[in-house]
Amino acid sequence: MTGRKLQELIAKCLGDFYTRRMEIIRGIELKTILRRKNPYLYKALGTERAGDIVESILLAYISSSDETIFGNIFFEPIAKVVSGGTVSPSEGVDVAIEGPSKYTAFSIKSGPNPYNSSAKKRQNSEFLALRSRLLKLKKDFDPVLAYCYGRIGRRKSTSVIYREVAGQEFWEEITGDPEFYKKLIDLIDREVVAKKKRAYQTEWDRAVNKHSIEFGNLFCDKGGAINWEKLIEFNSGKRQQEK
């Protein structure tokens, strides 16, 4: 892939990333999120502005989803194109590269956040299922759990069939270029980011305004002060049985 083509691909993926973030902002329901927050903490921190609570809630919500979105909408599509692989025919596997004697299946994750035991078991089961379906190919099966950034230690485990790669090692494996991981960040264009960020900021400001008004109507008194008892009753009070 030429540098220009790669830059165009990265710009498209950046656009898709910001579009998805804006969709999430538009779909936020304040009352749903408030039920999962800690009003005691807000008061203990001295928070007295409805807008501060709303911004804190929105920021935490978006931040928690950004990593997953970026992995799915930025890293994964780029990895599929630059690897020359195909979309895998199996759940839990994102890219497959088939050679004359080997079939490599990648499950692509954003970063090397520790997997819990149930997630590892599920991932291993998905690789096992694909291996069973590929027996007729009579090729070496190489399952890989890949992280697009970060480093990992050499993990040896007899409980899973897959290997793990991260960061430079992953991108070099699928492109053959040891410097690709640097090229990828260099080609995230500041002007493209600035343009997308301006559009996102507009959606953010609208969401803060909208939900601050909603919060004020629900949980502030006529003088504009937060009614903490009303907020905690909404958040933690016993559910009233529907008549």
pTM across the whole model:
0.85
Question: Per DSSP, what are the bridge partners of residue 102?
Answer: 140
What are the distances in angstroms from CA 58 to CA 22, 205, 224, 243?
A: 12, 11, 21, 34
| pLDDT given for residue 128 in this prediction | 93
| pLDDT given for residue 92 in this prediction | 85
Q: Please, what is the average pLDDT of the chain? A: 91
What are the distances in angstroms from CA 207 to CA 21, 40, 86, 126, 234?
A: 12, 24, 39, 39, 21
Separation of first and last alpha carbons in the chain: 64
Per-residue pLDDT reduced to its tens digit, 99-115: 999 999 999 999 887 66
- 130: Cα within 13 Å, side-chain hemisphere: 28
| Residue 123 to residue 64: CA distance in whole angstroms | 22
| pLDDT given for residue 156 in this prediction | 60
Contact between 217 and 52 under an 8 Å Cβ cutoff? The reply is no
Report residues of the chain scoring pLDDT below 50.
241-243
Per-residue pLDDT reduced to its tens digit, 167-178: 999 999 999 999
